[in-house]
Copies of this chain bind each other. A is one copy, B any other.
Amino acid sequence: MSKRLSATSPRTRRRPGRPVGGGVVVDRAQLLAAAAHVIRSEGPDATMAEIAAAATVTKPILYRAVGDRRALTFALSEVLVDRINIAVEERRVNATDPRAQFEGAVRGYLSAVDADRNLFLFVNGGSQDTDVIRGLIDRSAAQLIELFATARSAAGRDPIAARTWAYAIVGAFQVVTLMWLRDAYCDLDTVADDLTLLLWPGVATAGS
A residues whose Cβ falls under 8 Å from a Cβ of B: 44-45, 121, 124-130, 133-134, 137-138, 160-161, 163-165, 167-176, 178-180, 182, 185-186, 190-191, 193-195, 197-206
Q: How far is the CA of A174 from the CA of B190 in the complex (A)?
A: 23
**Whose C-beta in chain B lies nearest to the C-beta of A208?**
B197
A155, chain B: closest CB distance, angstroms: 12
Q: Which residues of B contact A125 (CB under 8 A)?
A: 127-130, 133
In the complex, which of the residues B171, B182, B205 contacts A130, with contact meaning CB atoms closer than 8 Å?
A: B182
**Whose C-beta in chain B lies nearest to the C-beta of A199?**
B202
A72, chain B: closest CB distance, angstroms: 14
In the complex, which of the residues B130, B190, B202 contacts A201, with contact meaning CB atoms closer than 8 Å?
A: B202
Q: How far is the CA of A137 from the CA of B94 in the complex (A)?
A: 34
Q: How far is the CA of A176 from the CA of B130 in the complex (A)?
A: 13
Q: How far is the CA of A172 from the CA of B171 in the complex (A)?
A: 4
Q: Are A168 and B160 in contact (CB under 8 A)?
A: no
**Whose C-beta in chain B lies nearest to the C-beta of A182?**
B134
In the complex, which of the residues B190, B195, B206 contacts A168, with contact meaning CB atoms closer than 8 Å?
A: B195
Interface of A is mostly: helix
Q: Which residues of B contact A198 (CB under 8 A)?
A: 164-165, 168-169, 199, 202-203, 206
Q: Which residues of B contact A182 (CB under 8 A)?
A: 130, 134
Q: Are B128 and A128 in contact (CB under 8 A)?
A: yes
Q: Are A167 and B176 in contact (CB under 8 A)?
A: yes
Q: Are B175 and A191 in contact (CB under 8 A)?
A: no
**Whose C-beta in chain B lies nearest to the C-beta of A164?**
B194
Q: How far is the CA of A86 from the CA of B130 in the complex (A)?
A: 26
Q: Are B197 and A202 in contact (CB under 8 A)?
A: yes
Contacts A168-B176, A179-B167, A182-B134: A160 and B190 contacting too (C-beta < 8 A)? yes
Q: Which residues of B contact A138 (CB under 8 A)?
A: 179
**Whose C-beta in chain B lies nearest to the C-beta of A169?**
B172
* A-B contacts besides A134-B179, A171-B175, 18 pairs, CB < 8 Å: A126-B128, A127-B128, A130-B182, A133-B178, A137-B178, A138-B179, A163-B179, A165-B198, A167-B176, A168-B172, A168-B173, A168-B176, A170-B175, A171-B171, A171-B173, A174-B175, A197-B202, A198-B199
